[in-house]
Amino acid sequence: MNPDIQALHSYPFEKQAQLKTGITPPADRAHIALSIGEPKHPAPQFALDAFSNAMAGFGAYPATGGTPELKKAIAEWAIQRYQLSALAAHQILPVNGTREALFAFAQAVVDRSKNPLVLMPNPFYQIYEGAAILAGAEPYYLNCTADNHYLPDYSAVPDSVWQRCQLLYICNPGNPTGAVMPKSQLKELLNLAEKFDFIIASDECYSEIYFDSPPTGLLSVCEEMGNHAYQRCVVFQSLSKRSNLPGLRSGFVAGDEAIIKSFLLYRTYHGSAMPLPTQAASIAAWQDEHHVQDNRAQYRQKFEQVLPVLQQALPVTQPDAAFFFWAQTPICDQKFTQALFAAENVTVLPGSYLARQAHGLNPGANHVRMALVAEVDQCLEAAHRIVRFAASLG
């Protein structure tokens, strides 16, 4: 067995399941899950129809690089969304969901012979950590706390760390915090990448769920700074959250041509070509913005109604974007999660499960993540139960 597998942590939801073992919640209250960020809004019917109409494509092997039609749809969407002058087909690679792509990317770009570091926000999407470990790199955690608006302080990272850095994962908007990186910070990272020669992998899967202005994308900042080839930069996008299609497993990677070329070579051996019906549905989804606008409106409604209720009991604020509340808890986050489930049959995710002890603290401690993915009535019911539970803590 690969010895690095032993260094992997249990996935947060496995820990959560153990936390709930042996507890019988009240039978008179239906379970409400705020723990898993799985969109529950209806998938766009036209994308499902496109999938059904293309099912004959299951009779052919798809190319790993994707069809020209899909790449064209992706390019047109990205150019419009990020105000790019161009995005060529060889700068785009369709992927079967960004989860597997974010993991595979580290395997393709990390040189394990050079004592590499892979930097990532803390708390973080656990795939970043597992990808680093199995690529033979050491994860380096950048704490995100309320003091820094839940964004890493890159200026505090010593040069000795940047010199070992081969890959930096950023999540914009952030999971679990919903924090959005300002343009100035993205420019700072581009300058650091050029100075220390590392790759930036920008996970932008939540970028289309926002309340006011759309989050700035890494590629648009590249272009503004004159880096029209997007050197050292790749972005990861997905239809899971944008289009309520988590089961489609469809997204794309775009950016530096040389990096994309090497990643494509890796993926031809990895066996990760996207089925043709999936590509057909993806084309339809990338070509339509109306359903995305409707999706945003539904999340906006939920946050507007749920936030004032939760604020009766917890110090919680509106996130910059995405569909999570990153709420502080009056007691240990694990005890809060366990007792809330026992008392009210509501499941949230302990923040400490989404972070690691680093630089003297676990920045996820005494926080819980709440995903507002259920219907608005369920989210409101959950909020009222949480308020009642918090009041019982005294």
Q: What is the pLDDT of residues 344-375, one digit of tens each?
A: 999 999 999 999 999 999 999 999 999 999 99
Residue 272 has pLDDT above 90, yes or no: no
Closest CA to 29 of 386, 394, 365: 386
**Displacement of CA 24 from its chain's centroid (Å):** 32
pLDDT for 232 equals 98
**Displacement of CA 29 from its chain's centroid (Å):** 31
How far apart (Å, rounded) are the C-alpha atoms in residues 20 and 314? 22
Report helix, strand or coil for 142.
strand
20 and 75 part of one domain: no
The C-alpha R_g of the chain, in whole angstroms, comes to: 21
Domain span holding position 280:
59-288
191 and 297 part of one domain: no
53 belongs to a structural domain: no
49 belongs to a structural domain: no
pLDDT for 118 equals 98
Q: Mean per-residue pLDDT for 322-327?
A: 97
Q: Would residue 352 be called left, alpha or beta, if left means φ above 0 and alpha means ψ between -120 and 50 degrees?
A: alpha
How far apart (Å, rounded) are the C-alpha atoms in residues 152 and 358? 13
Q: What is the pLDDT of residues 99-133, one digit of tens each?
A: 999 999 999 999 999 999 999 999 999 999 999 99
pLDDT for 268 equals 94
141 belongs to a structural domain: yes
Please report which confidence band the pLDDT of residue 270 belongs to, taking 50, 70 and 90 as the band edges: confident
Residues 98/235, Cβ–Cβ less than 8 Å: no
Neighbours of 183 (CB within 10 A): 13
Closest CA to 90 of 333, 254, 316: 254
How far apart (Å, rounded) are the C-alpha atoms in residues 299 and 373? 8
Q: What is the DSSP string of 350-372?
A: EGGGG---BTTB-TTTTEEEEE-
Given 258, 288, 318, the domain boundary residue is: 288
pTM of the model: 0.96
Cβ-based neighbours of 227, under 8 Å, separated by 6 or more: 190, 233
Given 288, 321, 336, the domain boundary residue is: 288
Residue carrying the six token digits 């507007």: 304
Residue 394 has pLDDT above 80, yes or no: no
Given 236, 268, 288, the domain boundary residue is: 288
**What is the rounded average pLDDT for all residues in the chain?**
96
pLDDT for 271 equals 82
54 belongs to a structural domain: no
354 and 304 part of one domain: yes
Least confident span in 3-12, 231-240, 312-321: 3-12
77 and 131 part of one domain: yes
How far apart (Å, rounded) are the C-alpha atoms in residues 262 and 64? 13
110 and 221 part of one domain: yes
pLDDT for 275 equals 97
Residue 28 has pLDDT above 90, yes or no: yes
Angle at which helices 98-109 and 126-134 pack, to 10 degrees? 30
Looking up residue 371, the CATH number of its domain turns out to be: 3.90.1150.10
Q: Regarding predicted confidence, which is higher, 64 or 11?
A: 64
Residue 295 has pLDDT above 90, yes or no: yes
70 and 165 part of one domain: yes
Q: What is the DSSP string of 172-204?
A: SS-TTT-----HHHHHHHHHHHHHHT-EEEEE-
Q: Which residues pair with 361 in a beta bridge?
A: 358
190 and 316 part of one domain: no
143 and 231 part of one domain: yes
Compute the CA torsion angle 36, 38, 42, 47 (nearest 10 deg). -170
274 and 378 part of one domain: no
124 belongs to a structural domain: yes
How far apart (Å, rounded) are the C-alpha atoms in residues 368 and 358? 18
315 and 255 part of one domain: no
382 belongs to a structural domain: yes
Angle at which helices 98-109 and 257-270 pack, to 10 degrees? 110
Number of domains in the chain: 2
> Using the 8-state DSSP alphabet, how is residue 42 labeled?
P
Across the beta sheet with 233-238, the strand order is 92-95, 251-255, 233-238, 199-203, 165-171, 117-122, 138-143
Q: What is the pLDDT of residues 148-200, one digit of tens each?
A: 999 999 999 999 999 999 999 999 999 999 999 999 999 999 999 999 999 99
Looking up residue 171, the CATH number of its domain turns out to be: 3.40.640.10
273 belongs to a structural domain: yes
Q: Mean per-residue pLDDT for 12-36?
A: 92
Query: Exposed/middle/buried for 125, CB within 10 Å: 0-12, 13-18, 19+?
Result: buried
212 and 252 part of one domain: yes
Q: What is the pLDDT of residues 60-106, one digit of tens each?
A: 999 999 999 999 999 999 999 999 999 999 999 999 999 999 999 99
79 and 198 part of one domain: yes
312 belongs to a structural domain: yes
- What is the H or E stretch that residue 160 is in? helix 159-164
> Using the 8-state DSSP alphabet, how is residue 12 labeled?
H
